[in-house]
Structure 1
Amino acid sequence: PMLALPKETTTLLLHDFSWKEEPLLESFLVDKDRTLARVGLSDSSQRPQLESGDDDFECGICFCGGADEQFLRLSCGHRFCSDCYTTYVGAKVQEGESWRIRCAAPKCPVLVGLEAARLLLDGEASERYESNLTRSFVKELRTLAWCPAPNCEFAIECQVPQAAWAYSIPTVRCRCGATFCFGCRLDDHVPAPCALVARWVQKCKDDSETSNWIKANTKECIKCRSTIEKNGGCNHMTCRECHHEFCWVCSGPWSEHGQSYYSCNRFEEDSSKNARDSVSKSRAMLVRYLHYFTRFDNHEQSAKLARKLLAATEKNMEQIQREHTLSWIEVQFLNDAVDVLSQCRSTLKWSYVLGYYMVSDNQKIIFENNQSDLEMATEYLNELIENPISDDGPSIEQFRRTVIDKTTYVRTRWETILADIISGLQENRWQFESE
């Protein structure tokens, strides 16, 4: 209304100004004619229309003419028969164009525009044109993005300012269920910033053979050498042959991973600091990378197993309902626990990317203490819900209360560490290696 222009003209101008209203309004008020000329229009421009030919009319493309021909006239005055114009605009639409289709006359700057295109096109060509318009609109607005999930046609809006992406990861959730980072279009990688994630992803590609070797899902028992396969998300392993209990990640005794001692997440930097020759330094760097990658990958695999656990949980909930006369709402505690478990696995996974690039100092020690606390609580909850309910174990009510309490505690720890990392990144509390 402030421009007092037809909707078609206003839309073309908004597109030319990348949908920014203030710059358009300012330009229009300063120099109306120059602003309109940007899209090949003038104050006296007429709306495009299909007209019947006359004896003097001759199409400049196919050279047909006469009163029987129908032609399109744009605001520039150039006229071409509707068949040629339809073919011309249709070809441009096939090439992916929409807003920038210009008059068919050579060197004419006037845009065909929405109204003219809609007069010419129908059926599949019209649908493709409208799709091109929408895609162009989403592409040009920084606050919009297409969901990267396969076969998804939804666009998502994110209002987090781009300046805040360095510390507040712009994670969005699409209506299709996909969750991804609005900044880099990768899967959700909270709490690691996009810049570190890009470096980590590239490094993992460069070391793909090492990564494949690490990803083997079987290990030998340290004590009796029996082969053990990991088929659950919990890292507390017990050998079926000798009953030795150990940690899947570091192979250390599980007794050293209790409430009072848990440093499986911490890398000892002494070996890399003391390395003198190039071979020793390369070996130390590899050992350091493997430390972080092993834990990163372990949480990724555990997260996948957690999703399988979710499917199994649905059956367990039905069984508990039948056997213990509980309502559907009363057995939702298992679903809630698996949801929290999945969130924690994802956060812990990406926290190792932060740890890998983080310079060792007192602030990193505090970070690793918080990381290990969440890791320990996550492992306990994982083990708790993977163990089947038995007749000689706690009652269903005791089990339910234990799971609810532990889920609440783990969720609180998860929220706390996320909030602390966001504020830490914002305050530049940590220094990161530049490679």
Structure 2
Amino acid sequence: MSRNNNSRRNGVRMITIKGISNRGTNNFNLEAINEYLQSLNNRNEKKQTIGLLNYIPRSKTEFKTYLKLIKDKISALLDVNIQKTLSLLNIFKWNIILLLNTVKQQKDAFYINYSLNVDPAEAGSKILNGFTCTICTDVFNSTNTFAGFCGHRFCYTCYERYVKSKIQANQSVIKCLDYNCKILLKDEEIALFLSTEELKIYNEASKLKFFRNFSSFKECPNLLCSSVVEYYSSLTLLSKPQIVKCKQKHRFCFSCSKGQHSIIPCDLAEDWLKKAATKFTNEENYETSLDSRKSKEWIYYNTKKCPKCNVDIEKNAGCNHMNCYNCKFHFCWLCLKEYINHNNFYECRDYTNAKVQAVKKFVYTGGKFMEHFNNYEKYYYEANLSKSLHKKAHTLLKGCGTRLKNSYGMLIDYIKKLIKCEYMIAWISVFTYYLTDPSQSRITEYQKSLEMYAYKSKNLIILNLDSLVSFELKKIKTINANMCKTANTIKELVDNGLDRNIWAFRD
């Protein structure tokens, strides 16, 4: 850092950080940052809102272009090069509002805290004489050393061991070796320490790195789709499902990156899909093939989720003391509680007591499961049939005369609402399965009404699809309105119960 002792303003000595221009009271253009933050809050792009979630669907090409625009803009605002900008964006998980607000809050200190004042020539590999490594404490007459752009330099051997240990632990986001440093290593820097085989492993992990670690963007879970959804609301995601629609019109839950699951919380939806043993990424990929069922069944009965980070873990040998490879949490394989209170590697008192209750619960829920599953499967099938009606209505709309265009447009809108309600009925069956006492709520009563409206609406649509009659269209409109009103009532009932924590769910 270079200091200009002669630079003063209002009797206060100013400090200039090397390589960065001194603009006003800070080393960045505060006015330009405020203007950009304001523009982010007033986006002109098309906004879509479902519940508390604001999002923008983008194609893969649009997404890459958008990221480049962000990098260029932040680089210009902070007066740093693209590589340092990219590192900052990764540190802040591409949350540009949080990044710029941190700059405003920390002001000059931001450049020091994130090593932006370090000369780029200090980074990379260098052979030094008389170097002492603060990690291994060895003193070298002459040795190869390495430093990221933060300038924290260590011997090459220590850095190599550190990077390889992170790769073996399946980590693709690797920070500087200095304990207090926040700077991330670049991909090309990590590659310096890896063999060809290790580099292949790292590259595979890196393919998932962006979407796994950065919550502002999610990739559509449909295997045939490459669309991306950007989440830009300042509100924190709740445990309630946040259903979004990608550029290719695939609906999925932004909170858990699974297919849409209507009204029920993500953890219950995930448990249900395992129990049901169905291959399901979204409604377009809904299958119940024997192979996919067997695969899901094997995962359900042979793996458990880490209690802390929710990663699937298989136990293939050894004691019950487990150490999660992803978050390093130590827990008991049997009871899934933190291992610190256990004193026996092969037995668990908590698990023994819980096992008795589990047997009773299995007897109670066994018959109930098939009843709820059959209704769930039935209405997914009905929703897929309604989609074929939707496609047919679009075909008829293109070939009809001017007089019928408005009528077919209205009918298409009614079919869309019917599809949503049929998916909701399917997931209501799941929700009531997990409730310890469904009779305490009025959900089952509303569910029956919703099923009746959906049935009547669908029958009228099928009968009038080829030759629309004005009177019948009015009947469909009335039934559709009642159906939507009932669906909204159910959603409000479920959401209020979740907000007030009044629902008691079966384990």
Q: Structure 2-normalised TM-score?
A: 0.48
The one-character-per-residue Cα deviations of 1:155-201 (angstroms, maximum 9, x if unpaired) are 212346785532x3111111111110012211111101101111111
Following the alignment from structure 1 to structure 2, what is the Cα–Cα distance between the partners of residues 137 and 281? 41
State the match for 1:247 in structure 2.
Answer: none
In structure 2, the gaps of 5 or more residues are 1-22, 29-78, 124-147, 154-170, 177-181, 190-204, 279-287, 291-357
Following the alignment from structure 1 to structure 2, what is the Cα–Cα distance between the partners of residues 286 and 111? 50
Does residue 416 in structure 1 map to residue 492 in structure 2?
no
Match of 1:399 among 472, 481, 488: 472
State the match for 1:181 in structure 2.
Answer: 253
Q: Given the superposition, is the C-alpha separation of residues 304 and 184 from structure 1 closer, same or farther in structure 2, using an over 3 Å criterion?
A: same
Following the alignment from structure 1 to structure 2, what is the Cα–Cα distance between the partners of residues 410 and 345? 10
Larger CA Rg, structure 1 vs 2: 1
Q: Given the superposition, is the C-alpha separation of residues 306 and 196 from structure 1 closer, same or farther in structure 2, using an over 3 Å criterion?
A: same
Does residue 172 in structure 1 map to residue 244 in structure 2?
yes
Does residue 360 in structure 1 map to residue 432 in structure 2?
no
State the match for 2:389 in structure 1.
Answer: 309
State the match for 1:295 in structure 2.
Answer: 375
State the match for 1:382 in structure 2.
Answer: 458
Following the alignment from structure 1 to structure 2, what is the Cα–Cα distance between the partners of residues 389 and 202? 38
Give 1:155's aligned amino acid: V
Following the alignment from structure 1 to structure 2, what is the Cα–Cα distance between the partners of residues 280 and 141? 42
Following the alignment from structure 1 to structure 2, what is the Cα–Cα distance between the partners of residues 389 and 330? 10
Following the alignment from structure 1 to structure 2, what is the Cα–Cα distance between the partners of residues 17 and 318? 48
Tell me by how many angstroms 1:292 deviates.
0.6
How do residues 22-101 of structure 1 correspond to structure 2 at under 5 angstroms?
29-30=108-109, 33=112, 35-36=114-115, 43-46=118-121
Following the alignment from structure 1 to structure 2, what is the Cα–Cα distance between the partners of residues 16 and 283? 50
Give 1:152's aligned amino acid: C
Give 1:306's aligned amino acid: S
Following the alignment from structure 1 to structure 2, what is the Cα–Cα distance between the partners of residues 424 and 110? 43
Q: Given the superposition, is the C-alpha separation of residues 112 and 398 from structure 1 closer, same or farther in structure 2, using an over 3 Å criterion?
A: closer
Equivalent pairs counted in the alignment come to 298
Following the alignment from structure 2 to structure 1, what is the Cα–Cα distance between the partners of residues 86 and 466? 67
Give 1:337's aligned amino acid: Y
Match of 2:409 among 327, 332, 351: 332
Residues 138 and 155 in structure 1, CA contact (< 8 A), matched pair in contact too: no
Following the alignment from structure 2 to structure 1, what is the Cα–Cα distance between the partners of residues 226 and 277? 29
Following the alignment from structure 1 to structure 2, what is the Cα–Cα distance between the partners of residues 337 and 111? 51
Following the alignment from structure 1 to structure 2, what is the Cα–Cα distance between the partners of residues 337 and 433? 36
Following the alignment from structure 2 to structure 1, what is the Cα–Cα distance between the partners of residues 378 and 397? 27
Following the alignment from structure 2 to structure 1, what is the Cα–Cα distance between the partners of residues 494 and 173? 43
Give 1:198's aligned amino acid: E
Secondary structure of the residue aligned to 1:345 is helix
Residues 376 and 429 in structure 2, CA contact (< 8 A), matched pair in contact too: yes
Secondary structure of the residue aligned to 2:403 is coil
Q: Given the superposition, is the C-alpha separation of residues 379 and 34 from structure 1 closer, same or farther in structure 2, using an over 3 Å criterion?
A: closer
The one-character-per-residue Cα deviations of 1:374-423 (angstroms, maximum 9, x if unpaired) are 111111111221225799xxx82211211122222222222232222222
Alpha-carbon RMSD across the aligned residues, in angstroms, is 4.7
How do residues 92-241 of structure 1 correspond to structure 2 at under 5 angstroms?
138-159=211-232, 164-166=237-239, 168-205=240-277
State the match for 2:5 in structure 1.
Answer: none
Q: Structure 1-normalised TM-score?
A: 0.55
Following the alignment from structure 1 to structure 2, what is the Cα–Cα distance between the partners of residues 284 and 98? 45
Give 1:343's aligned amino acid: K
Tell me by how many angstroms 1:287 deviates.
1.9
Following the alignment from structure 2 to structure 1, what is the Cα–Cα distance between the partners of residues 361 and 187? 63
Tell me by how many angstroms 1:358 deviates.
0.4
State the match for 1:12 in structure 2.
Answer: 87
State the match for 1:344 in structure 2.
Answer: 421
Q: Given the superposition, is the C-alpha separation of residues 161 and 370 from structure 1 closer, same or farther in structure 2, using an over 3 Å criterion?
A: farther
State the match for 2:501 in structure 1.
Answer: 428
Secondary structure of the residue aligned to 2:222 is coil
Q: Given the superposition, is the C-alpha separation of residues 101 and 287 from structure 1 closer, same or farther in structure 2, using an over 3 Å criterion?
A: closer
Tell me by how many angstroms 1:111 deviates.
8.3
Following the alignment from structure 2 to structure 1, what is the Cα–Cα distance between the partners of residues 404 and 435? 48
Q: Given the superposition, is the C-alpha separation of residues 406 and 133 from structure 1 closer, same or farther in structure 2, using an over 3 Å criterion?
A: same
State the match for 2:144 in structure 1.
Answer: none
Give 1:303's aligned amino acid: A
Q: Given the superposition, is the C-alpha separation of residues 338 and 113 from structure 1 closer, same or farther in structure 2, using an over 3 Å criterion?
A: same
Residues 3 and 25 in structure 1, CA contact (< 8 A), matched pair in contact too: no
Following the alignment from structure 2 to structure 1, what is the Cα–Cα distance between the partners of residues 259 and 434? 20
Give 1:13's aligned amino acid: L
Secondary structure of the residue aligned to 1:180 is strand
